[in-house]
């Protein structure tokens, strides 16, 4: 029996966005033809291309298309072509940030996995990377010091002063902690909640509230770290972390630190959720205009973003795992795109990488397909 149709609003955007999104279509075709999914994709414009066509980074038609969908798959936005525009009219502000605000995506998930085959890309010492790591950063995205009021620059006599407000309500902490604990419970992971509770009142409330939520999830191990210590521990031994749960400001910095130690921006996906668990999925990197239209972009971050969508929005973790496994197999066999290749003469193109992952996914279906489908109900 064919499954109920699920709609993905696909927003390729600018730069390498359309190229890497094209590779996800190959995967979706396999999911529909082999894995008994019924995914329909509908494309909409966002960012620079939307400015060119509609005069705005986020046209109404894109918003209404996203509202009707089960999830959003985004490429990336921006590029030098639109740099002359005033800041609030540029693709990121008028497209992506507006979209995030429109759907109130308060929870951001950024996995930072070091693939054992790609250890050499990490800037960390080999004795540290030998253990590998797989950290899921869960960052609060709509509160804290980035949005807290009052903020501003004022003058007292002749001296300028500036101020921002780090503010969190209990409800904001509860809703993100709930998501982190649900994921940890399902995946049998431990949580490290990161704050600065030795100095900041907002962190004292953060810690107390996280502990309250933890009581509902007794099987999930919870530890607290101060942010300064966390920044050190991530460098010294990233393998000690499963889930990092933290505020907007600390998450901004620590998720980039976690990404940097994998050494490969082209491999990192991300997901954002709102209160209804509606999700948007996109690579952690940008539109990479320096490599646009050269068929050298790494499509893995985009394919992993699709995999997260399948897991979290379509609730098919086994199928998502099969996609991830296919990527691992391709890497194990030694295939590399230019950005992750040691040998700059010998690498596979964007399209070839997409084809390889697709082929391995079909092989995975032939080996374990029935089992995967039957377990993923």
- Helix and strand totals (H; E) in the chain: 13, 12
291 contacts ligand NAD (rule: CB under 6 A): yes
Site residue total, ligand NAD (CB under 6 A) = 21
78 contacts ligand NAD (rule: CB under 6 A): yes
Q: Which two tokens stand for residue 81?
A: 């072509």
Q: Is 152 helix (H, G, I), strand (E, B) or coil?
A: strand
The residue among 203 and 307 lying less far from ligand NAD, judged by its C-beta, is: 307
Per DSSP bridges, beta strands 71-76 and 279-283 are parallel
Q: Is 14 a catalytic residue?
A: no
Which of the following is catalytic: 26, 164, 174, 256? 256
220, with CB counted inside 10 A (0-12, 13-18, 19+), is buried
Using only C-alpha atoms, the chain has a radius of gyration, in whole angstroms, of: 21
Cβ 97 to ligand NAD shortest distance, Å: 10
> Looking at 26-34, 75-83, 135-143, 358-366, which segment touches ligand NAD (CB under 6 A)?
75-83
Query: What is the Cα–Cα distance from 77 to 96, expressed in whole angstroms?
Result: 7
Q: Is 34 a catalytic residue?
A: no
The residue among 182 and 256 lying less far from ligand NAD, judged by its C-beta, is: 256
Q: Is 146 a catalytic residue?
A: yes
Q: Which of 297, 310, 348, 373 binds ligand NAD (CB under 6 A)?
A: 297
24 contacts ligand NAD (rule: CB under 6 A): no
Cβ 297 to ligand NAD shortest distance, Å: 4
Residue ranges of E strands in the chain: 6-13, 39-43, 71-76, 107-114, 133-140, 152-156, 159-163, 191-195, 222-226, 243-246, 269-273, 279-283
Which of the following is catalytic: 196, 312, 339, 365? 196
Q: Which residues contact 367 (CB under 8 A, 6 or more apart)?
A: none
Which 228-247 residues touch ligand NAD, going by CB under 6 A?
none
> Looking at 74-82, 137-145, 161-169, 314-322, which segment touches ligand NAD (CB under 6 A)?
74-82
Which 316-345 residues touch ligand NAD, going by CB under 6 A?
339
253, with CB counted inside 10 A (0-12, 13-18, 19+), is middle
Q: Does residue 260 contact residue 268 with C-beta atoms inside 8 Å?
A: no
> Looking at 27-35, 50-58, 76-84, 106-114, which segment touches ligand NAD (CB under 6 A)?
76-84
The residue among 194 and 353 lying less far from ligand NAD, judged by its C-beta, is: 353
The residue among 98 and 316 lying less far from ligand NAD, judged by its C-beta, is: 98
Closest by CA to 373, choosing from 114, 37, 20, is 37
Q: Is 376 a catalytic residue?
A: no
Q: Does residue 231 contact residue 253 with C-beta atoms inside 8 Å?
A: yes
Which of the following is catalytic: 252, 318, 325, 351? 252
Q: Please state the separation of Cα 62 from the chain's center in Å.
A: 21
> Looking at 55-63, 194-202, 224-232, 283-291, which segment touches ligand NAD (CB under 6 A)?
283-291
> Looking at 101-109, 234-242, 293-301, 313-321, which segment touches ligand NAD (CB under 6 A)?
293-301
- Give the phi and the psi of residue 264 in degrees, each rounded to 5: -145, 95
Q: Is 196 a catalytic residue?
A: yes
Q: Does residue 362 contact residue 30 with C-beta atoms inside 8 Å?
A: yes
Residues 54, 57, 60, 62, CA torsion sign: positive
Q: Which of 289, 295, 324, 351 binds ligand NAD (CB under 6 A)?
A: 289
Which residues are designated catalytic? 146, 196, 228, 252, 256
Q: Residues in the site for ligand NAD, rule: CB under 6 A? A: 16, 76-79, 92, 96, 265-266, 282, 285-291, 297-298, 301, 339
């Amino acid at each position: 029996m064919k499954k109920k149709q699920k709609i993905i609003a696909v927003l390729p955007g600018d730069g390498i966005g359309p190229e890497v999104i094209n590779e996800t279509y190959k995967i979706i075709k396999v999911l529909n033809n082999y894995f008994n999914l019924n995914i329909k994709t509908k494309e909409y414009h966002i960012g620079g291309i939307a400015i060119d066509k509609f005069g705005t980074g986020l046209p109404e038609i894109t918003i209404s298309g996203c509202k009707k969908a089960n999830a959003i798959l985004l490429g990336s936005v921006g590029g030098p072509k639109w740099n002359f525009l005033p800041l609030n009219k540029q693709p990121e502000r008028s497209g992506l940030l507006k979209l995030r605000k429109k759907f109130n995506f308060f929870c951001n998930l950024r996995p930072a996995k070091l693939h054992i085959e790609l250890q050499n890309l990490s800037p960390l010492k080999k004795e540290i990377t030998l253990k590998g790591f797989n950290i899921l950063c869960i960052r609060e995205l709509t509160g804290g010091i980035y949005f807290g009021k009052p903020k501003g620059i004022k003058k007292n006599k002749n001296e300028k002063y500036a101020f921002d407000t780090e503010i969190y309500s209990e409800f904001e902490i509860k809703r993100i902690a709930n998501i982190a604990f649900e994921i940890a419970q399902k995946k049998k992971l431990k949580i490290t909640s990161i704050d600065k509770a030795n100095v900041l009142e907002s962190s004292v409330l953060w810690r107390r509230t996280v502990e309250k939520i933890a009581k509902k999830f007794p099987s999930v191990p919870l530890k607290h770290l101060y942010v300064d210590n966390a920044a050190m521990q991530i460098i010294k031994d990233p393998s000690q972390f499963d889930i990092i749960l933290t505020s907007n400001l600390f998450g901004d910095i620590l998720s980039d630190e976690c990404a940097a130690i994998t050494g490969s921006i082209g491999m990192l996906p991300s997901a954002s959720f709102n209160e209804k668990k509606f999700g948007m999925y996109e690579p952690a990197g940008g539109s990479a205009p320096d490599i646009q239209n050269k068929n050298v972009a790494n499509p893995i971050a985009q394919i992993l973003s699709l995999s997260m969508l399948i897991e979290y929005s379509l609730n098919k973790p086994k199928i998502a795992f099969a996609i991830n496994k296919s990527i691992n197999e391709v890497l194990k066999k030694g295939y590399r795109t230019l950005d992750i290749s040691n040998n700059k003469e010998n690498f596979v193109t964007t399209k070839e990488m997409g084809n390889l992952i697709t082929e391995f996914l079909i092989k995975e279906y032939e080996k374990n397909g029935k089992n995967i489908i039957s377990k993923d109900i």
